[in-house]
Amino acid sequence: MEAAVQPSQRVDFGPCQVHRLTEHDCVTFVAEELAARRGGWIVTANVDILRRMAIDTDFAALCSRASLVVADGMPLVWASRLRGEPLPERVTGSSLIWTLSAMAARRRRSVYLLGGVPGTAERTALALRRSNPMLQVAGVSCPDTGFETRPDAMARIAHDLAAARPDIVYVAFGAPKSERLIASLRQLVPEAWWIGVGISFSFASGEIARAPGWMQRAGLEWLHRLAQEPARLARRYLFDDVPFAAGLLVRAAWSRMRQGGGARPQVAEP
């Protein structure tokens, strides 16, 4: 069975290739793949993840194994437009957790919540069920810090996932932990779809307020997050990600200028 949405076009950002999909396209594709009993993995590439790929070839190679890579960051969307290869929109993990769950509820699919700070997975499950009363929550798990280095803890997670056999697994750790964990666990439930959602459990549970819509659309969500946790995020955002994003935009504009502003865009095929 072929999926109704074919994510055949991608924009090449060097360390990774981002699929040209809207959020609706992404959810539709996952639904069709689940119906066909084909699992997969979504990487939500924001500036920080793209920067990590650029400096860590092993991490880039790991993420290249994902089924879909979507642009979870307005700088990627802006850069694609500057290059003349526009991505249709930003597709965030914090939004997909809601739209994928709504699809799962309609189609009697189950979700599993792994990670987050203590208590947020359970509260997120309740929030998702309030919005989607028919949603099946196959399980929640918030392992202790350092679990990934303890064989007993990893074995317990693997056992729980294999027993639950969810259709969609939300993994709420930061990069690169989420991506490495997904790569190591996804074969336990090969027909499931996996997605790293970062801090999304804290947003969904109401523990941390997400930026207003206008800030999200203006590419200022990072500034809202910085104001909430300046001590933790200042170095990453101000010294690592902002300069990288600026360079990304400059390179995109220069690439378009070298093409004469009207060259046929180079689209990578899968």
Residue 258 falls inside a structural domain: no
Same domain as 144, residue 235: no
Under 8 Å between Cβ of 141 and 121: yes
pLDDT at res. 184:
95
- Residue 6, pLDDT > 80, answer no
Residue 161 lies in a domain: yes
Please state, in angstroms and rounded to a whole number, the distance separating the CA atoms of residues 48 and 63.
Answer: 13
157 within domain boundaries: yes
What is the C-alpha to C-alpha distance for residues 94 and 71, in angstroms, rounded to an integer? 12
Q: What is the percent of the chain where pLDDT is above 90?
A: 88
Structure tokens at 40: 């997969």
What is the chain's mean pLDDT, rounded?
A: 92
114, 230: one domain: no
Considering the domain architecture, whether residues 194 and 218 belong to the same structural domain is answered as: no
pLDDT per residue as tens digits for the range 95-149: 999 999 999 999 999 999 999 999 999 999 999 999 999 999 999 999 988 999 9
Q: Are residues 136 and 223 in the same domain?
A: no
- 111 and 226 co-located in one domain: no
Same domain, 148 and 101: yes
* One domain for residues 240 and 218: yes
Q: How far apart are CA 23 and CA 128, in angstroms?
A: 18
- With a cut of 80, say whether residue 72 has pLDDT above it: yes
Report yes or no on 7 lying in a domain. Answer: no
The span from the CA of 62 to the CA of 3, in Å, is 25
| CA atoms of 134 and 136, how far apart (whole Å) | 6
Residue 186 predicted with pLDDT over 90: yes
pTM above 0.85, yes or no: yes
pLDDT for residue 258: 83
220 shares a domain with 104: no
Domain that residue 171 falls in: 17-202
Q: How many domains does the chain have?
A: 2
| Claim to verify: residue 235 and residue 130 sit in the same structural domain | no
Categorize the per-residue pLDDT at 265 as very low, low, confident or very high, splitting at 50, 70 and 90: very low
Question: Is the model's pLDDT at 7 over the cut of 80?
Answer: no
**Would you say residue 136 lies in a domain?**
yes
Asked whether residue 77 falls in the same domain as residue 140, the answer is yes
Percent of the chain at pLDDT > 70 equals 93
Whether 267 maps to a domain, the answer reads no
Give pLDDT, residue 257.
84
Q: Is residue 2 part of a domain?
A: no
What are the tens digits of pLDDT across the range 236-261? 999 999 999 999 999 999 888 887 75
Q: Is the residue at 70 inside a domain?
A: yes
Structure tokens at 29: 């594709």
Residues 92 and 192 in one domain: yes
User: 52 Cβ partners below 8 Å, 6+ apart?
Assistant: 59, 175, 176
User: How big is the chain by its Cα radius of gyration, in Å?
Assistant: 18
List of long-range contacts for 212-216, beta carbons under 8 Å, 24+ apart = 216/90, 216/92
Tell me: the pLDDT tens digits for 17-60?
A: 999 999 999 999 999 999 999 999 999 999 999 999 999 999 99
Closest CA to 200 of 110, 101, 130: 101
Residues 96 and 219 reside in one and the same domain: no
Q: Give every CB contact of residue 85 below 8 A, 6+ residues apart in sequence.
A: 11, 265, 266, 267
Domain at 22, CATH number: 3.40.50.2300
Query: Does the pLDDT value for residue 270 go beyond 80?
Result: no
